[in-house]
A = this chain, B = another copy of it.
């Protein structure tokens, strides 16, 4: 990890990024669809350096399986240390279709904001993870 003495911003290494992402239950998925950009909050769980989330069938977010390149962002503030952090995973989103994959995903402790009758599981395979932390201005 390297910290810029001028800005106080720290570039996080991969292990730190995965650790912080694993502590987040909510993230936002961004996807470019037909010249537009969509961004949605989702509940996530990290599973062996992939990101798993659920989405309702037929939602715009389900279109992420058509435009499989997605960015998943989570952020938070550690009040004790006065530092904010943000982590972004970029990668390929894949809807789980095989029963074994779906059963495995159902065993993950994936929180849900809401209940929908039909839900898909989507797994994001990471090409790149980046993160940074910085002192909050109020600290």
Contacts and interface: CB of A to CB of B under 8 A. Distances in A.
Contact of A137 (B9, B37, B114, B135): B114
Nearest to A132: B114
Interface residues on A, range: 35 or more
Given A84-B113, A117-B6, A136-B113, A69 B36 contact: yes
Contact of A7 (B39, B71, B114): B114
Interface string A101-131: 0000000000111111100000000000000
Contacts of A6: 117
**Nearest 5 pairs between A and B by C-beta?**
A30-B30, A32-B32, A30-B39, A39-B73, A114-B134
